[in-house]
Chain A
Amino acid sequence: MAYADSPENAIAVIKQRTALMNRCLSQHKLMESLQHTSIMLTELRNPNLSPKKYYELYVIIFDSLTNLSTYLIENHPQNHHLADLYELVQYTGNVVPRLYLMITVGTSYLTFNEAPKKEILKDMIEMCRGVQNPIRGLFLRYYLSQRTKELLPEDDPSFNSQFIMNNFIEMNKLWVRLQHQGPLRERETRTRERKELQILVGSQLVRLSQIIDDNFQMYKQDILPTILEQVIQCRDLVSQEYLLDVICQVFADEFHLKTLDTLLQTTLHLNPDVSINKIVLTLVDRLNDYVTRQLEDDPNATSTNAYLDMDVFGTFWDYLTVLNHERPDLSLQQFIPLVESVIVLSLKWYPNNFDNLNKLFELVLQKTKDYGQKNISLESEHLFLVLLSFQNSKLQLTSSTTAPPNSPVTSKKHFIFQLISQCQAYKNILALQSISLQKKVVNEIIDILMDREVEEMADNDSESKLHPPGHSAYLVIEDKLQVQRLLSICEPLIISRSGPPANVASSDTNIDEVFFNRHDEEESWILDPIQEKLAHLIHWIMNTTSRKQTMKNKIQFSLEAQLEILLLIKSSFIKGGINVKYTFPAIITNFWKLMRKCRMIQEYLLKKRPDNKTLLSHYSNLLKQMFKFVSRCINDIFNSCNNSCTDLILKLNLQCAILADQLQLNEISYDFFSQAFTIFEESLSDSKTQLQALIYIAQSLQKTRSLYKEAYYDSLIVRCTLHGSKLLKKQDQCRAVYLCSHLWWATEISNIGEEEGITDNFYRDGKRVLECLQRSLRVADSIMDNEQSCELMVEILNRCLYYFIHGDESETHISIKYINGLIELIKTNLKSLKLEDNSASMITNSISDLHITGENNVKTSSNADDGSVITDKESNVAIGSDGTYIQLNTLNGSSTLIHGVVATASGSKLLHQLKYIPIHHFQRTCEYIESQREVDDRFKVIYV
Chain B
Amino acid sequence: MLLLALSDAHIPDRATDLPVKFKKLLSVPDKISQVALLGNSTKSYDFLKFVNQISNNITIVRGEFDNGHLPSTKKDKASDNSRPMEEIPMNSIIRQGALKIGCCSGYTVVPKNDPLSLLALARQLDVDILLWGGTHNVEAYTLEGKFFVNPGSCTGAFNTDWPIVFDVEDSDEAVTSEVDKPTKENQSEDDDAKGGSTGTEQPGSYTPKEGTAGERENENESNVKPENQFKEDEVDMSDSDINGSNSPSFCLLDIQGNTCTLYIYLYVNGEVKVDKVVYEKE
Contacts and interface: CB of A to CB of B under 8 A. Distances in A.
B27 interface: no
A255 interface: no
Contacts of A818: none
A612 B162 contact: no
B198 interface: no
A762 B67 CA distance: 34
Contacts of B278: none
Interface in B199-227: 201, 203-204, 206, 208-213, 227
B74 to A, nearest CB: 4
Interface in A578-596: 582, 585-586, 588-589, 592-593, 596
A827 B51 CA distance: 46
B45 A528 contact: yes
Contact of A921 (B124, B204, B270): B124
A607 B234 CA distance: 12
Interface magnitude class on chain A = 35 or more
B230 interface: yes
A878 B123 CA distance: 10
B176 interface: no
Contacts of A798: 120, 123-124
A321 interface: no
Contacts of A614: 203-204, 228
Nearest to A705: B162
A462 B184 CA distance: 9
Contacts of B242: 593, 596-597, 600
Interface in A893-908: 893-895, 897, 899
B81 to A, nearest CB: 11
A699 B232 contact: no
A774 B189 CA distance: 60
Contact of B12 (A462, A536, A615, A920): A536
B141 to A, nearest CB: 14
A728 interface: no
A835 interface: no
Contact of A555 (B104, B213, B237): B213
B54 interface: no
Given A480-B210, A525-B43, A880-B90, A585 B13 contact: yes
A558 B120 contact: no
A749 B144 contact: no
Interface in A913-936: 920-921, 924-925, 928, 931
Contacts of B164: 751
B155 to A, nearest CB: 11
A878 B116 contact: no
Contacts of B16: 450, 452, 536, 539-540
B212 A456 contact: no
B168 A658 contact: no
Q: Which of A529, A551, A893 has the most CB of B within 10 A?
A: A893
A686 B69 CA distance: 13
A944 to B, nearest CB: 14
Interface residues of B, number: 102
A618 B124 contact: no
Contact of B163 (A561, A604, A751, A925): A751
B71 to A, nearest CB: 4
B171 to A, nearest CB: 7
Given A596-B242, A615-B230, A921-B123, A699 B191 contact: no
B203 A615 contact: yes
Interface in A646-695: 647-648, 651, 655, 658-659, 662, 686, 688-689, 692, 695
A105 interface: no
B232 A529 contact: no
Contact of A601 (B46, B74, B235): B235
B77 A893 contact: no
A310 to B, nearest CB: 30
Interface string B183-195: 0110110011001
A924 B108 contact: no
B211 A479 contact: yes
Contacts of B213: 553-556
Nearest to B59: A894
A535 B14 CA distance: 9
A228 B13 CA distance: 62
B11 interface: yes
A306 interface: no
A235 interface: no
Contacts of A795: 120, 124
Nearest to B230: A615
Contacts of B208: 480, 560-561, 564
A608 to B, nearest CB: 7
B240 to A, nearest CB: 11
B114 A535 contact: no
Nearest to A622: B203
A604 B168 contact: yes
A470 to B, nearest CB: 10
B11 A532 contact: yes
Nearest to A873: B126
Contacts of A144: none
A742 interface: yes
Interface stretch (A162-170, A290-298, A437-445, A511-519): A511-519
A515 to B, nearest CB: 4
A618 B203 CA distance: 7
A289 to B, nearest CB: 34
Contact of A702 (B48, B95, B112, B209): B112
From B11, B65, B110, name the one whose CB has the most chain A CB atoms within 10 angstroms: B110
Contacts of A600: 165, 235, 237, 241-242
Interface in A534-589: 535-536, 539-540, 548-551, 553-556, 558-561, 564, 582, 585-586, 588-589
Interface stretch (A62-70, A390-398, A884-892): A884-892
Contacts of A753: 167
Given A560-B203, A586-B12, A751-B162, A698 B110 contact: yes
A886 B110 contact: no
B125 A880 contact: yes
Interface string B69-88: 10111110100000011010
A882 interface: yes
A713 to B, nearest CB: 15
B96 interface: yes
B68 A702 contact: no
Contact of A607 (B20, B126, B165, B171): B171
14 contacts: A478-B212, A514-B49, A517-B71, A517-B77, A532-B12, A551-B191, A558-B232, A593-B242, A662-B166, A695-B108, A805-B116, A884-B89, A899-B87, A931-B144
* Nearest 8 pairs of A and B residues by beta carbon: A535-B12, A515-B74, A585-B13, A880-B91, A523-B68, A479-B210, A525-B67, A895-B93
Interface of A: 450, 452-453, 456-457, 459-460, 462-463, 469, 478-481, 501, 514-517, 519, 523-529, 532-533, 535-536, 539-540, 548-551, 553-556, 558-561, 564, 582, 585-586, 588-589, 592-593, 596-597, 599-601, 603-609, 612, 614-615, 618-619, 647-648, 651, 655, 658-659, 662, 686, 688-689, 692, 695-696, 698-699, 702-703, 739, 742, 747, 749, 751-753, 794-795, 798-799, 801-802, 805-806, 875, 878-882, 884, 886, 888, 890, 892-895, 897, 899, 920-921, 924-925, 928, 931
